Structure 1
């Protein structure tokens, strides 16, 4: 990898300009109303060079087949400098696997540029970078993981009666416990503070509650990103 100081100059020249302060989400007040994540139905990887630096943009939803596409992109560009991410999340386990692939394959910087947002499964993909940076105006957005968002499955089990509903609840509990264990293992491997899970991620609601705080998303401040080790590199 090339020196960080030089790298930051090249990357900064391509950051999105933000005009004024973006409107806040009244339901999720720590976050902008319209986060800057890509609306691509599946994450696309685009290679480009700027100022001599080699960069891949990962933009879109993280689906179960993201890892083979990422692996092909990394193999094609073994001297990559940075990976930029913009994603509304997606498959949690695929995000973890993509993060591990980034960590095991290349010594690159993962970056959330100004005006971009990395949510949910994208968090773990981002944390795969040995060096991680979030530009002012970039958003690292977390939530409490859940399987209960699959309303059709829930409605069907309820219609089938108590036994079916009890079985589904058991499956959800088991899967949630397994995913929590995988998240903890990932955090340890990536040298991040597990307090990010206990202090922030696990305290977010899985669905909008009936209390005064109905937020389901939490945007980390840059100070929080530093505190929990999410961001471990800064460039001038």
Structure 2
């Protein structure tokens, strides 16, 4: 079992960045979110041990690629005294995020945290939900969207150019993969103790792709919402 973290000291370290902060500019297209969410620009997620508030944490920063779960596992094995994983990510590979979340859950008592000024979006949500317990500090952002399997526009355009049969086949593949991913998401939330209403009432109600009438594709949950859906489940 991992050692208990000095929670009060960690919370103070996280909240320090809020002191004297300027008013946040909001995103006109996604009005619940800041214009510049505080996620890491690292092209692939890095896992860096650090000391915060006198306790050892693991900083998970950057885009989630297929190799992220293996790197996370190695980082935790090399640093068994880590008590928390802090997350800053724009998302990435959905299934890799799911796998990384399961690795965190397998390390009993390992907390996940989104500190003030940091943001966890898309596939990062599933890494965060692996924590037990989970904390989103005031000023930290848990950002959701409706997943889409139509990101490869080149393949779609090529399929359309090839004719109706090719397009139908591609659409069928996309629909099947999306259904499987939705099933995996439901199973994951059940196992992590997060309300499935997060999917039906929030995630799946977002636009997958912006259009002329509605450009919003992201939703930043409030502190009340993360507690309602049991996304955050620790009171400090």
Per the shorter chain, which TM-score range? Answer: over 0.9
User: Which residue in 2 is equivalent to 1:150?
Assistant: 152
| Counterpart position of 2:192 | 190
Structure 1 counterpart of 2:8: 8
1:176 to 1:97, Cα distance in 2 relative to 1, 3 A: same
Larger deviation: 9-18 or 75-84?
A: 9-18
Partner of 2:230: 229
Give a deviation string over 1:146-188, Cα, whole Å, max 9, x none.
Answer: 1112111111111111111100100010000000000000000
In 2, the alpha carbon distance for the partners of 1:173 and 1:35 equals 30
2:206 maps to 204
Pair 76,28 (structure 1): closer, same or farther in 2 beyond 3 Å: same
Alignment partners' CA distance in 2, 1:7 and 1:183: 30
Contact 1:16 1:115 in 2 (8 A): no
- Native 8 Å contact 1:206 1:216 kept in 2: yes
Aligned to 1:24: 26
Partner of 1:108: 110
Aligned residue-pair number: 233
Distance 1:31 1:48, change over 3 A: same
Partners in 2 of 1:173 and 1:111 — Cα distance? 33
Cα deviation, 1:68-94, whole Å, max 9, x if unaligned, reads 100000101122111000000000000
Structure 2: tracts of 5 or more residues without a match:
none
Report the counterpart of residue 36 of structure 2 in structure 1: 34
**Normalised TM-score (structure 1):** 0.95
- Asked if structure 1 preserves the Cα contact closer than 8 Å seen for 2:30 and 2:218, the reply is yes
Q: Which runs of 5+ in 1 are unaligned?
A: none
TM-score norm. by structure 2 comes to: 0.95
Q: What's the CA shift string for 1:104-156, capped at 9, x where partnerless?
A: 12421100000000000000000000100001110000000111121111111
Q: How far does residue 10 in structure 1 lie from its aligned partner after superposition?
A: 3.0
- How big is the shift at 1:16? 5.8
Alignment of 1:113-128 (within 5 A): 113-128=115-130
Quote how far apart the aligned CAs of 1:11 are: 4.4
**How far apart are 1:8 and its partner, in Å?**
3.1
Per-residue deviation at 1:217?
0.3
